[in-house]
A and B are shown apart, each in its own frame.
Chain A
Amino acid sequence: MHERDADRAHEDDVWLAGALSRFSRDRDPALRDEIVERANWLAVRAARRFVDRGEPFDDLLQVARLGLLKAVDRFDLSLGVPFGAYATPTVMGELRRYFRDHTWSVHVSRRAKDLRPMVNAASDKLAGELGRSPKVAEIAAVLDLGEDAVLEALEANNAYRAHVLDPAGTGHTPPVDGGFEDVLDRDLVQHLLDRLPARERTILVLRFFEGMTQSQIAERIGTSQVHVGRLITSSLAVLRAHLSAASRDTSG
């Protein structure tokens, strides 16, 4: 470990020991968020170790933070080890599972796999230049491809991301105002959204309650439209899985 990292880890371990002690007693979600923020460097460092595998760093960091949350939840002070020493393997394990599970969920043609990064890049570039979401024909023209190839590549985004999000609980959800309450029970909504990381919750709220387009959300949160689309798809899958599980529990 680098000397500076070691110093920083030590300082954080001192702070974390106190915070984790309180968290183990109170299970306060706000304190958990604070612990995760304070220990975020662990997630950053772990995510960097996988950055040469072709995945966006933001995605890796999201996965690493999920691992960090799990480490906070599971950490046992009686083990007598510093939190950093406990959390690192947990975070690394989460990242490895991400790559293990990060497979194509359905058969996707080689052409679509190969074209996907190019199509995504062209889509984002055109969106910036045009000031609006591009049309498929415009992407096809830029890349000198057929529209079918572009559509297939765009669809491959969804297959590629089918299992990204772990449906395990993550963070605390601030109360949501608006649309959901008209249709769904407030507690149920809260319960469902609690299962998503903060960024996914924000995206869903912006898309479904504030009516923003994927491109607008991408601009707001500083990522690509394609990435927003993938996160919406995977987040809805997580919500649906939780809803189904809740229904089974209720009926069982």
Chain B
Amino acid sequence: MAEAALQSAEPGVAPNGPVQLCVPPEPSMSRVARLAASGLASLAGCTVDEIEDIKIAVSEVLIALIEHGEGGRIDLEFDLARPGTVAGPHGAAFVVRGRSPVTSFALDHPDLLLCRTVLEGVCTSAEIGTVEGHAQIVAVVAMAEPN
């Protein structure tokens, strides 16, 4: 499942490519990120339910990276996964990927465990880990019906 999340998060799978944001590690950025994500989701024809799930995922990703990152800027990427690459009625999905530079990332910290639990509740798949000196969280929210 986590593999599917990473596979679907490959850049460029959406017709117009991913939307990328680089934000300071501030909680106030959550609203900025959520609005950007919901705008893309709306363009993709997501329902209000799906958009609310996507916004929850964006908030969780951002807050986890703020609280457990090391103060560096956070790269967020929103993308639409190609139909057929992830599970779901139509195989289309909205992918949220967050990255922040870290030297260590305590995956067993209760905050991150809660983050994972929430993400697994609203997402088709979720992965929290480290990649090349960065904490990385990838969350895939299935879309019931592609635009």
Are A and B bound to each other?
Answer: yes
A residues touching B (Cβ–Cβ < 8 Å)? Answer: 106, 123, 127, 132-137, 139, 147-148, 150-152, 154-155, 158-159, 179-180, 183-184, 188, 192, 207-209, 211, 213-215, 225, 229, 232-233, 236, 239-240, 243-244, 246-247
Shortest B25–chain A CB gap in Å is 16
CB pair B63 A183 closer than 8 Å: no
CB pair A232 B110 closer than 8 Å: no
Q: Which of A135, A154, A236, A247 contacts B56 (CB 8 A)?
A: A236
Of the A-B pairs whose beta carbons lie under 8 Å apart in the complex, a sample of 23, sorted by A's number, is A133-B47, A135-B48, A136-B51, A137-B45, A147-B42, A150-B42, A151-B38, A151-B39, A155-B31, A155-B38, A155-B55, A192-B114, A207-B122, A208-B117, A208-B122, A211-B121, A214-B48, A215-B49, A233-B59, A239-B114, A243-B114, A244-B67, A247-B111
Q: Which of A151, A179, A239 contacts B121 (CB 8 A)?
A: A179
Distance, CA A179 to CA B121, complexed state (A) = 9
What are the residues of chain A within 8 A of B111 when measuring CB–CB?
Answer: 240, 243-244, 247
B46 within 8 A of A: yes
- Nearest-CB residue, chain B, relative to A211: B121
- Pick the 3 closest A-B CB pairs, nearest first: A208-B121, A133-B49, A133-B47
Tally inter-chain residue pairs, CB-CB below 8 A.
101
Distance, CA A183 to CA B67, complexed state (A) = 19
Given contacts A209-B121, A233-B56, A243-B110, are A151 and B35 in contact (CB under 8 A)? yes
B: contact size bracket: 20 to 34
B28 within 8 A of A: yes
CB pair B31 A246 closer than 8 Å: no
Residue from the set B35, B56, B121 with the largest chain A CB neighbour count within 10 Å: B121
Main secondary structure of the interface of A (DSSP, over half): helix
What are the residues of chain A within 8 A of B118 when measuring CB–CB?
Answer: 208, 236
B99 within 8 A of A: no
| A-contact bits for B25-64, CB 8 A (1 contact / 0 none) | 0001001001100110010011111111101100110010
Residue from the set B28, B48, B50, B109 with the largest chain A CB neighbour count within 10 Å: B48
Distance, CA A116 to CA B28, complexed state (A) = 20
Residue from the set A132, A136, A225 with the largest chain B CB neighbour count within 10 Å: A136
CB pair A240 B46 closer than 8 Å: no
CB pair A179 B120 closer than 8 Å: yes
CB pair B110 A136 closer than 8 Å: no
CB pair B31 A232 closer than 8 Å: no
- Nearest-CB residue, chain B, relative to A192: B114
